[in-house]
Amino acid sequence: MKKYIVGNWKMNLGEQDSVALAQAIVNGTKNLSQTEVWIAPSFLSIPAVAKVVKGSRVQIGTQNVHGEPKGTFTGEVSCSMLNDFGCTFSLIGHSERRWVLGESDTVVARKAAGALEQGITPIFCIGESLEERKRGLTQEVLRVQLTALLEAIPKPQLKDVILAYEPRWAISDGSVGTVATPEMIKEAHEIVYKLCLDAAGVPPKAILYGGSATDKNVAEILSVPHVDGALIGGASLKPDSFNKMAEIAEGQ
Ligand code: PGA
């Protein structure tokens, strides 16, 4: 089955470094035929990176987007603006936006709906905090986050949404953090898959795992049932590591 290797560059690289990294990824993945290689630079680097990936198998998207096509939303960027540069996807509801920047379930769900309406594939991020996990609330947290999404979109359209299960406690702070165990990932992905089928009657387009994935652990992560790829932060900034992850995904 085709796997997704998605790089989330966060607020790390300026235009010059973004272009260099994108070029190294284009070169390093050109012989792959199956794996989806997607990268999410900062908004400001999108125009330059778009030129680098044009005609390659690498797709670009953004780390955030607004749900409305246009309007009085100071500081925001719409999907039609992304379309102008050939962006095909956007991360939505990443935990750093939910928890650090205060985006609610309703806000991120509306963003996903807007993205779908405007032809941008949402990578909708969900996941529990360490405290919620310790209190046995993982399933409930995932259910609430998914329910908000399914209230905002026509349910059958879930098939066009990529979900990313990213336990908040496993996301690194730039260095490599604590990766979830394969058992934890298996359990959570099963929960997500089943919740989707029960609530929407269709599975999502894919379910990615995110949180301290590297070239050392990605083979094991990708072999877990219902894991269709990885959303990668820290390790996506190192071209050798990211390209190797794509290669491993290709071989699975
Ligand atoms: P990480 O980040 O791979 O650095 O843990 C993943 C993410 O935040 O998407």
Q: Is 125 in the pocket of ligand 1 (CB under 6 A)?
A: no
Query: From the CA of 230, how far away is ligand 1's center (Å)?
Result: 9
Active site residue 226: no
| Region of residue 204 (phi > 0: left; psi between -120 and 50: alpha; otherwise: beta) | beta
Tell me the sheet residues that pair with 133. none
Query: From the CA of 51, how far away is ligand 1's center (Å)?
Result: 25
- Best residue among 4, 231, 236, 237 to mutate for probing ligand 1's pocket (most ligand atoms within 8 Å of CB) is 231
- Structure confidence by residue, pLDDT tens digits, 105-153: 999 999 999 999 999 999 999 999 999 999 999 999 999 999 999 999 9
Q: What is the pLDDT of residue 176?
A: 66
| Contacts of 92 by beta carbon, 8 Å cutoff, 6+ apart | 64, 65, 108, 111, 112, 115, 122, 123, 124, 125
Active site residue 166: yes
DSSP string, 218-251: HHHHHTSTT--EEEESGGGGSHHHHHHHHHHHHT
Q: Is 166 in the pocket of ligand 1 (CB under 6 A)?
A: yes
Q: Is 217 in the pocket of ligand 1 (CB under 6 A)?
A: no
- Structure confidence by residue, pLDDT tens digits, 140-192: 999 999 999 999 999 999 999 999 999 999 998 866 668 899 999 999 999 99
Number of neighbours of residue 15 by Cβ within 10 angstroms: 15
Phi then psi for residue 18, to 5 deg, are -65, -45
